[in-house]
Amino acid sequence: MKNIAIINCVKASEVCAGVSCMDAFYEKKAAFGVYGGEDLRLIAFMLCNGCDCDVETDPGLQRKIDRLVKSNTEVAHFGVCTKDQQTGEECVKITELAGRLEGLGMQIVRGTH
Between CA 88 and CA 102 the distance in angstroms is 22
What 3-state class would DSSP assign to 46?
Answer: strand
Identify the sign of the CA torsion 14, 20, 23, 24. negative
Mean pLDDT of the chain: 96
Whether 86 has a pLDDT exceeding 90, the answer reads no
Question: What are the domain boundaries of the chain?
Answer: 2-110
| Class of the CATH-defined domain 2-110 | alpha beta
Report pLDDT for 94. 96
Under the banding of pLDDT at 50, 70 and 90, the label for residue 23 is very high
Mean pLDDT along residues 59-65? 97
Q: What is the pTM of this model?
A: 0.94
